[in-house]
Structure 1
């Protein structure tokens, strides 16, 4: 009987976890679609520009997200886990170097991205892209705050 109950509980937990992951993935996809629409509109991309731009942008965005999730999250875990207070000076220096290397990787990734865009978009549209990304993120954050802090 216990085994049956444990299997039932395991199944419920697996289902809830799967449902949560699907909801998160759906929300992320919805946000991505809104971002695509927003950037396309803000940059006033024509169909030829859009066809060339989005594959490059998506590859850049995926790589950037991967870097941030992989490395930055481990840094935040150390910050939040209280490890910083326990570090020796040597460990702190190594950690600082790792952080600098990650920032450099992100910088080089964006630099390469901009170089790739120069063959597709006018310089003014590349500048507008940065503004559109920042504006979109700001609006998204504001909506999140408004939703979680009703007055």
Structure 2
């Protein structure tokens, strides 16, 4: 019965995932809903106890914030079109991107060790899987609500 109630709660939370464009008004509310859905999803998938959850979520949130910042900085490097840069600027951007990816790997290793102090190794393994699954589910739901997209027609003809 407990698993059934958890499943119902999970479905209800995931149903609340925002369905409209993040660019519209109320973006922070939708991001908050998405974050709450992620918390419920991960908590369920890795079977956190209440005591574990109290210790785990502050550490995980710190990890997520740091990872998000590294990814934001990496995206900024990719914004500039290479044709608008000198060869040295391109080299500098690529070097910075590699440095950021190294920082991300170091961050993941550091938090892998921190997570092991709070969770069983099985729960840590499930955490990484749950993160990927949640992201896939959100992307799928957004894509389903936007409707099917047709692939651009190819200009190539096979004769």
TM-score (norm 1): 0.77
Partner of 1:87: 85
- Segments of 5+ residues of structure 2 without an aligned counterpart are 1-22, 150-159
Find the partner of 2:30 among 27, 30, 34.
27
Secondary structure of the structure 2 residue equivalent to 1:119: helix
Give the structure with higher Rg (CA).
Answer: 1
CA drift at 1:73: 2.7
| Aligned Cα root-mean-square deviation (Å) | 1.7
Q: CA deviation at 1:22?
A: 5.7
Unaligned segments of structure 1, at least 5 residues: 1-19
1:109 counterpart residue number: 107
Larger fraction in helix: 1
Higher relative contact order (CA 8 A, sep 6+): 1
TM-score with structure 2 setting the length: 0.74
Alignment correspondent of 2:5: none
The count of residues paired between Structure 1 and Structure 2 equals 127
Q: Which moved more, 1:43-52 or 1:128-137?
A: 43-52
1:100 equivalent in alignment to 2:98: yes
